[in-house]
Amino acid sequence: MRYVNRKDIAEPDSLSKPSAAVKDEKDAAELFYATFDPTQSPRPAAFTFKAYKSYDVQHALRQLFLAKCAYCESHLGDSLEVEHFRPKGGVTEDPLHFGYWWLAHSWENLLPACPGCNKNLCHHLVTEHTTEEEFKAAQLKKSKSSYGKANQFPVSGKRATDTTHRLKDEAPDLLDPTVDDPASFLGWSRAGHFSVAIAKSSTANVANRALATINVFALNRASLVRTRTEVLTELRFQRVEILSELEEELAQGISAARIARIMRRVEVMRRMQQPEKRYSMLVQEFIDDFVAELSTHPGLAAI
């Protein structure tokens, strides 16, 4: 997950003007929720919203997030889903909540997501301790456990239940990449073979929000970990190549020109962390670590 400044893109016209379809839907939803009773059994179905995801909204979200999922940084391809950060049709953690229906057409509440992050689907999860053998063995059977956001929206503050409540007071547990800087919360395990997301630190606020985000969006689901680990494997390969090149250079006698050549190789690696690249935050952390490693390399420290 990577911070994105929502102001970089103007609010789409269908929401800001708003379009006739959005206006009609807002009016219809207001009438619908005036008599909605979530205590009925079974709970009545939520209002069906459609107008929030018109083409201009999808296009704006794709531009804003450089065609990547707001949560996991996978490339979206044709699978962009317009996701409500605050769920519009109900709240898993509060069965009597109507859902944040009044934010269904709110630009600030919309993010582009991949189906794996947005929907509750069956996945195997990977941890820092999962071995390659365990990973392979798990794939042989379909998981019976489902993960992914759907209507989950845990908060640590006072939950807003209608338009009169201040969203500010909610203190959401989930990170919003247009509000929070995920780099302060989410990190990557240095242990094991797989690319596993972890909390950046164990301080209560960071760990609570990071773990809620990792769990709710299933950021360590096997299918995602597999593609992320492909990127990590490429980074590890390049690191080993550069280190072995450095050893060869050192054997010939170190010089400023030789160090500059090595550092250029690292800068080329940094192309993989450009904002439009998938899993750019993982790449950035890996390369920052590598640069720190190089700066304390015994052969270079003598210079």
For Zn ion, the binding residues (CB under 5 A) are: 69, 71-72, 114, 117
Q: State which residue, 72 or 198, has the beta carbon closest to Zn ion.
A: 72
Q: Closer to Zn ion at the Cβ: 72 or 155?
A: 72
CB of 220 vs Zn ion, minimal distance in Å: 12
State in angstroms the smallest separation of the CB of 274 from Zn ion. Answer: 19
246, 248, 236: which is closest to 290 by C-alpha?
236
Cβ-based nearer residue to Zn ion, 29 or 69: 69
Q: What's the first-to-final CA gap in the chain, in angstroms?
A: 38
> Considering beta carbons, is residue 114 or 199 the nearer one to Zn ion?
114
Q: Which residues pair with 111 in a beta bridge?
A: 83
Residue 151: both structure tokens together: 């209507």
The residues, ordered by sequence, that sit 6+ positions from 238 with a Cβ below 8 Å of its Cβ are 265, 269
Instruction: Please state, in angstroms and as integers, the Cα–Cα distance from residue 80 to each residue in 48, 49, 60, 128, 147, following that order.
Output: 19, 17, 12, 29, 19
**In the complex, what is the shortest distance from the CB of residue 269 to Zn ion, in angstroms, rounded to a whole number?**
24
Pick between residue 86 and residue 159 the one whose CB is nearest to Zn ion: 86
Q: Give the shortest CB-78-to-Zn ion separation in angstroms.
A: 14
Dist CA 146 CA 123 (whole Å): 6
State the number of CA atoms in the 13 A half-sphere of 171 facing the CB. Answer: 7
Work out how close the CB of 85 gets to Zn ion at its nearest, in angstroms, rounded to a whole number: 13
Q: What Rg do the C-alpha atoms of the chain give, in angstroms?
A: 23
Is the CB of 218 or the CB of 269 nearer to Zn ion? 218
Q: Whole-number minimum distance, CB 65 to Zn ion, in Å?
A: 10
Q: What share of the chain is helix, strand, coil (3-state, %, to 5)?
A: 45, 10, 45
